[in-house]
Amino acid sequence: MNMETIRELQAYGYIFLTVFLAIGLYAYIYHLYRAEKKGTRNYEKYADIALHDNIDDAPVEAISPLNKEKE
Amino acid sequence: MQEKNALNYDYSVAKCFTYATILFGIIGMLIGVVIAYQMAFPQLNYLAGEYGTYSRLRPLHTSGVIFGFLLSGIFATWYYVGQRVLKVSMAESKFLMVVGKLHFWIYMITILTAVVTLFMGISTSKEYAELEWPLDIAVVVLWVLWGISIFGLVGIRREKTLYISMWYYIATFLGVAMLYLFNNMEVPTYFVSGYGKWYHSVSMYAGTNDAMVQWWYGHNAVAFVFTVPIIAMIYYFLPKESGQPVFSYKLSLLSFWGLMFVYLWAGGHHLLFSTVPDWVQTMGSIFSVILILPSWGSAINMLLTMKGQWGQLKENPLVKFMVLASTFYMLSTLEGPIQAIKSVNALAHFTDWIPGHVHDGTLGWVGFMTMAALFHMAPRMYKRELYSKKLMESQFWVQTTGIVMYFSSMWIAGITQGMMWRATDQYGNLAYSFIDTVTVLIPYYALRATGGLLYLVGFFMFTYNMYKTMTASKAIASEPQNASPMAA
């Protein structure tokens, strides 16, 4: 493969990657807001994990029903 | 598990690493001040024969503060924060306690051996990766132990979701593991060819390839040791100390992925105008500029967390330390990308502006955040209030003055130096010789060293305050929920 072809492939790769990453970034933002709007997840409540961190505080989201029973 | 009342977080490993942070902080920063004065007064190079020369001490300073002070600070906060955000105590697993203690002792032996061998002049001569292969293996062992401790604790957690700080601690673990292994691939010369001492080695990469791997590692050491774990700390300690939830948890997630992706590609900016391929240089430049976004995403998120609560800055010196840390993070993550732009780099490369930049990040962001974290942990670990608020306030101002003196003198020195190197007369001849620039810079070197000295004085104030908190402060009946209790 000559240098010119390599450079051309690099340029296509570069454009593809840039577009892919830009879409990926906005899709992630969309995913975060959509999940909240649909009620599948409330990301902001996870901020409470730092604030209520005593060993006997109830977990924000307990790991299993078994642990939930114990509280 | 049934007697929940009896269960408490176990801070024994966190305490050990806290002592290590203070010890290596003193060693690393003291050597830093000595070598800074050596730049201003070269005769100071001859105080202790070969052991006191700048070239012998410089790797000791960098390794001492990075792998001594800061790594132990990261481990201390991990063994504190990890348990709390996962809501599980180290005391619940004998295995994890043994791993934690082993982690600490292997770490201490490794770093103390590193101090001795670097003093002896045993070095691979790779910047920030000077340790020879036997010590590299010890580093791998202690890193694996840390990994077992992280994932072990995650495995027995009660809190299902990993808090954002956990993401950053895990990223630190994975990032450094990958970087350290690849950059320290080395050939032990004695065993392969019979040359040199048994502990000598040469890099497995040669020439330009070695440079590229080295700066991929070097810059990402900044990423995964100076940035990622410090963000882990601030995302826990600032909300906890101020009682305010993170301003936007979603923004913290977005910034996390942004930082993870972008940082790894920025190292090429250390090799601008060198023999590495042009596209590597351009990529390094571009990714460095993009890096502003995720960095400011985290920093702004922290400042907005204090929205409506700025009064706390007046009452609580710990909040002040953390807000200043976050502000310095913004400053250095704007300054770095500016220096990575090719035309700016043509002026800035190899000048004192570069160490100036590094130090406003490390002293302002890393140092302040680490000390604030240890201050926050102390009343909870030792069940005593912080010894002196006044001393903390004075420390804040002494150190802030030191940082400002440090970076402003280095800005002026660096730009002066760069301009003098480039200056030509009407025929295109260089206007100055190298020694002309050195003469001009000496006053700035003295200013820089004095700024560093102020920071060291502040660190001794911190040490004294911590020592008195541990030993002589008033006991507290119950653990404080938010603002740390402190005597006037």
- For residue A66, the model assigns a pLDDT of 53
pLDDT grade for B1, boundaries at 50, 70 and 90: very low
pLDDT, tens digit (0-9, with 9 covering 90-100), for B347-369: 999 999 999 999 999 999 999 99
Quick check: A51 and B236 CB within 8 A?
Answer: no
- Higher pLDDT pick, B48 / A69: B48
Distance from CA of A10 to the nearest CA of B (A): 10
% of chain B residues with pLDDT over 70 = 99
The ipTM estimated for the assembled molecules is: 0.88
Burial of B339-376, coded b for 16+ CB within 10 Å and e otherwise, reads bbbeebbebbbebbbbbbbbbbbbbbbbbbbbbbbbbb
Spatial contact of B453 and B398, defined as CB atoms under 8 Å apart: no
B236 closest CB neighbour out of A46, A50, A59: A50
Q: Given the structure tokens 């732009």, which residue do they identify?
A: B341
- For residue A71, the model assigns a pLDDT of 46
| Helix (H) or strand (E) segment spanning residue B439 | helix B434-471
Contacts (Cβ under 8 Å, ≥6 apart) of B101: B12, B13, B16
Give me the total of CB pairs closer than 8 Å, taking one residue from chain A and one from chain B: 83
* Region A14-34 average pLDDT: 92
pLDDT, tens digit (0-9, with 9 covering 90-100), for B109-148: 999 999 999 999 999 999 999 999 999 999 999 999 999 9
- Nearest residue on chain B to A29, alpha-carbon basis: B254
pLDDT grade for B488, boundaries at 50, 70 and 90: confident
A25 touching chain B per CB within 8 A? yes
pLDDT grade for B3, boundaries at 50, 70 and 90: very low
- For residue B222, the model assigns a pLDDT of 87
Q: Which of A2, A19, A21, A3 is nearest to B279 (CA)?
A: A3
Question: Is residue A68 scored above 70 in pLDDT?
Answer: no
Give counts: helices (H), strands (E), chain B: 19, 2
Please tell me the pTM assigned to this model. Answer: 0.94
A1 touching chain B per CB within 8 A? no
pLDDT grade for B5, boundaries at 50, 70 and 90: low
Average pLDDT, chain B: 95
**Among B1, B86, B158, the residue to mutate for chain A (most A Cβ within 10 A):** B158
